[in-house]
């Protein structure tokens, strides 16, 4: 009975947060603010549903599975990475360096900085031009 109440509350909360996360995707005005809704709220909603499942199966059927915990951890680890990558790609495509404030004194945005090492594409392009590879 107690497990049923906990699972019901978690399911309702999860559904509410998932709905808010996706409604923010439609409602919010510009791409950088729109990034907030799915990465935080939707992840919290899915996490609540998965924790509800994690409580429900041992309480009802006596079967303990760790899959839900694995999925929750994976989602919580990957959501910030996804948000960071999309924000970086959006800055790379849509903004110029003059429009952005300086991130810190004496530092530059990582998106606009030169890469530390030569990429495979650059190396291939340089090899096709026929120059000697740099060691």
Partner 1 sequence: MIAYALIFAYGCFGMALLFCLYRVVFAPGLSDRVLALDTMSINVIALLTLFGIDKGTTMYFEASLLFAMVGFISTVAYAKFVLRGDIIE
Cβ neighbours of residue 126 closer than 8 Å, sequence gap 6 or more: 133
Choice from 33, 58, 80, 88 touching partner 1 (CB under 8 A): 88
Cβ neighbours of residue 27 closer than 8 Å, sequence gap 6 or more: none
- Angle 21-90-44 (CA atoms, 0-180°, nearest 5)? 20
Of residues 60 and 97, the one with the C-beta less far from partner 1: 60
Under rule CB under 8 A, residue 44 binds partner 1: no
Choice from 33, 80, 81, 127 touching partner 1 (CB under 8 A): 81
Q: How far apart (Å, rounded) are the C-alpha atoms in residues 17 and 28?
A: 16
Q: How far apart (Å, rounded) are the C-alpha atoms in residues 87 and 111?
A: 10
Give contact residues for partner 1 (rule: CB under 8 A).
Answer: 4-5, 7-9, 11-12, 14-16, 18-19, 21-23, 25-26, 31, 34-35, 38, 42-43, 45-46, 49-50, 52-53, 56-57, 60-61, 63, 65, 67-68, 70-71, 74-75, 78, 81-82, 85-86, 88-90, 92-94, 111, 119-121
């Amino acid at each position: 009975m107690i497990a049923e109440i906990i699972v019901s509350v978690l399911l309702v909360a999860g559904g509410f947060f998932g709905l808010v996360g996706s409604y923010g995707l439609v409602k919010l005005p510009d791409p950088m603010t729109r990034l907030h809704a799915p990465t935080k709220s939707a992840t919290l909603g899915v996490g609540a549903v998965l924790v509800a499942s994690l409580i429900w199966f041992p309480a009802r059927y006596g079967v303990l599975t760790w899959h839900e915990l694995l999925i929750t951890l994976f989602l919580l680890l990957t959501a910030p990475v996804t948000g960071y990558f999309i924000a970086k790609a959006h800055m790379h495509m849509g903004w110029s360096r003059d429009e952005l404030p300086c991130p810190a004194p004496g530092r530059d945005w990582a998106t606009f900085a030169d890469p530390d090492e030569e990429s495979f594409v650059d190396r291939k392009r340089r090899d096709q031009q026929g120059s000697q590879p740099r060691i």
